[in-house]
Chain A
Amino acid sequence: MTAIQDSALTHDDALHGHHEHPEWLAHHFDDAEQQYDAGKFGMWMFLVTEVLFFSGMFCAYALLRNRNPEVFEYCSQFLNEKLGAINTGVLLFSSLTMAWAVRSAQLREYRLLIVMLGATLGCAAMFLGVKAVEYSHKWELGLLPGKFYVAQLGGHSLEHQGYLEYLCIVPLILTVSFFVYWIYSLVTKSSFHQQVAGPLFVAGLCFFGGVGLGQMLEAQEAAAHESHAGHEHAGHAHTEHTDHAHGSESATEATASLAGTASISETGLGPSEDVKVMKEALTTPNVDVNQKGMAGLFFSIYYCMTGIHAIHIIGGMVVITWLITKAARREFHEKYFGPVDNVGLYWHLVDFIWIYLFPLLYLIT
């Protein structure tokens, strides 16, 4: 990201007084186009590093997949395609608005530019909202990475842990503060602040919109499977059995997971894609899939990939906010739109990665 700032604004660079240069043109560049090309080429190089960075995790994915295909058969049950699809749509739309933003920057359509950037920001927030629902739901099922994996066959959720609430704390604080900022901007009638605060506040709301959407869809899933509740006990029998075999981990872990079972058998029906899962499990040839070294490994990879992707989204949001401030200052024009263009490139790459993550994690069984 620094790359952009570099090629972009260097007016605070007091050391070299080059009065011949317009302030948006760095002293060491000869003309606007050289600066633009340098910035853009730099961004492409950065995208290259991003691609190779992610390739590591794709490699891990591929290795696990061709070693234990059955794991994927089993785990894909826990991933809610609907949510994945929704998120894909959201990201694609954000890509559209981002590309459109570049166009408006080039054409000096500042209002539209801010709207587009705001829309991108909103989509990003919504994406995160849906992710928050997915994550918290999986955590309650004990679908945790590697050695923390404690999900039971039939995957009943442990009693309500309120992970989602925790995840929402920070966004809530932010949204509220954005709201305050927005009110402030209205009061002071500063059009600059209004143009910045507006999008931020909307984005904050979008996050919770995403959360709402996510929960709705999860609930649907649940409703769809209420009927199978019958298989409960079979599920339990199974659970206990496999769990004793579990003793193979170091003593502490063993006790931990036993404790897990206890608390689980008390709690009643969880959200019920579980039941679907249990039915699967009974028919799955290799029951051992439901263990740290198998399903646990899948979720390790799942969390690494989606988690790091999410971090990139957040990074992108920060930079887009920075763009909004610049746009509000009317800084862009047909000779200086590099920042928008480059952030755009980065944003499309994040989308690009997700385009692959979605089928690999959610669809392929």
Chain B
Amino acid sequence: MAHEIAHAAHDDVNAHGHDLAHGHDHGHGHGHDHEHGFSHPMPIWMLLSVFFALLALTGLTVYQSQFSLGNAEIWLSLTIATIKAGLVILFFMHLLWDKPLNAIVILGSLIFVALFLGFTMMDAEGYRENLIYRSTIRASQPGATGTEIDD
């Protein structure tokens, strides 16, 4: 029966189906005409190439972790991670062909994460020197209670 429905509902979906499918075609030389209305199956070659790209990047990040580059290391591996995440989002999650709204939504959320981390970190950095480290306490005062320090 699904077929009948497909045909029944054919007309009203079609108009829309068309242009999406076309935008799609130009984009990546694949994409399925109005048979599939709003569905845009991804070509297999694309899926596979994305996957292998991801594997390669994983290998790279493991490899670079062997050298201790100090602080640069963090940024390097985070950059690689971000590239990987980008691949996943754009292709596997289909964001590239999705409604812009969804893209805005997810990017917007990242802005708020940045906000949250940003302010909290900035503050922590600011009062850092006031903090009493457990380690130093331990060294200075054996057998003292929790936050006891020597005046």
Contact = CB atoms under 8 A, between A and B. Distances in A.
Contacts of A248: 137-138, 141-146
A47 B44 CA distance: 26
A223 interface: no
A58 B117 contact: yes
14 contacts: A22-B5, A40-B98, A59-B117, A62-B117, A95-B88, A103-B41, A106-B40, A248-B137, A291-B138, A294-B134, A335-B13, A345-B93, A352-B85, A358-B58
Contacts of A359: 61, 65, 77-78, 80-81
A44 B102 contact: yes
B61 A67 contact: no
B77 A67 contact: no
B109 A52 contact: yes
A210 B41 CA distance: 31
Interface string B1-13: 1100110110011
B58 A334 contact: no
Nearest to B117: A59
Interface in B56-85: 58, 61-62, 65, 68, 73-74, 77-78, 80-81, 84-85
B51 A31 contact: no
A149 to B, nearest CB: 12
B16 to A, nearest CB: 6
A99 B62 contact: no
Contacts of B40: 106
Interface of B: 1-2, 5-6, 8-9, 12-13, 16, 32, 35-42, 44, 47-48, 50-51, 54-55, 58, 61-62, 65, 68, 73-74, 77-78, 80-81, 84-85, 88-89, 91-94, 98-99, 101-102, 105-106, 108-110, 112-113, 116-117, 120-121, 124-125, 128, 131, 133-139, 141-146
B105 A48 contact: yes
> What is the size category of the interface that chain A forms with chain B?
35 or more
Given A32-B37, A356-B85, A363 B105 contact: no
B13 A33 contact: yes
A363 B61 contact: yes
Interface string A20-40: 001000000001110011001
Contact of A48 (B68, B73, B77, B106): B106
A95 B2 CA distance: 28
A61 B139 CA distance: 25
B9 A32 contact: yes
Given A51-B106, A55-B116, A293 B58 contact: no
Contacts of A100: 44, 47
